């Protein structure tokens, strides 16, 4: 495991937070790490939805099963974590 600090901008939350992800993990695991600090704390869970990840200002999401180190995500990049329907690409 290699820790990767990123900035989490989680949908529905009121602030940006420091989140430590795993650069060897997947985008999904990064989303889980971000959700840990927002969902159930200040953001209500949305059952049936998944959390997708995109770079701030972009519309396209990273592939959920992509390895973080294989993407262009760098330390302290600001990422948006957004609730989405499971079948939506």
Partner 1 sequence: MTILDRSEWYDIARETNWTPTFVTEEELFPEVMTGGLGVTRDKWEKYDEPYKTSYPEYVKIQREKDAGAYSVKAALERNKLFETADPGWISILKSHYGGLALGEYAAMSAEARMTRFGPAPGMRNMATFGMLDENRHTQLQLYFPHEHCSKDRQFDWAVKAYHTNEWAAIATRRMVDDLFLGRDAISIAIMLTFAFETGFTNMQFLGLSSDAAEVGDYTFSSLISSIQTDESRHAQIGGPALEVLIANGKKAEAERMVYQGIAGAWRLFCVLTGPSMDYNTPLAHRKHSFKEFMQEWIIGQFERSLIDLGLDLPWYWDKLVAEFDYMHHAYQLGLWYWRPTIWWNPAAGVTPDERDWLEEKYPGWNDTFGKCWDVIIENVVAGRMDKTYPETLPILCNMSQLPICAIPGNGWNVKDYPLEYQGRTYHFNSEIDRWMFQQSPERYRDHMSLVDRLLAGQIQPPDIGGILKYMNIAPGECGDDAHKYAWADAYRVNPFSKSAA
**Residues lying near partner 1 in the complex (CB under 8 A):** 5, 7, 9, 11-20, 36-37, 40-44, 56, 76, 78
Residue closer to partner 1 by CB (options 25, 65) is 25
What is the nearest approach in angstroms of partner 1 to the Cβ of residue 36? Answer: 8
CA distance 43 to 46: 9
Q: How far is CA 71 from CA 12, 44, 48, 75, in A?
A: 25, 29, 26, 12
Residue closer to partner 1 by CB (options 45, 85) is 45
What is the nearest approach in angstroms of partner 1 to the Cβ of residue 51? Answer: 14
CA distance 54 to 52: 7
């Amino acid at each position: 495991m290699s820790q990767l600090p990123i900035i989490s901008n989680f949908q529905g939350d009121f602030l940006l937070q420091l989140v430590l992800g795993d650069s060897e993990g997947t985008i999904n695991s990064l989303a889980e790490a971000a959700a840990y600090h927002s969902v159930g704390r200040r953001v209500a869970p949305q059952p049936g939805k998944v959390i997708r990840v995109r770079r701030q200002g972009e519309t396209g999401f990273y592939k959920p099963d992509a390895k973080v180190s294989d993407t262009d995500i760098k330390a302290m990049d600001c990422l948006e974590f957004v609730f989405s329907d499971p079948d939506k690409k």
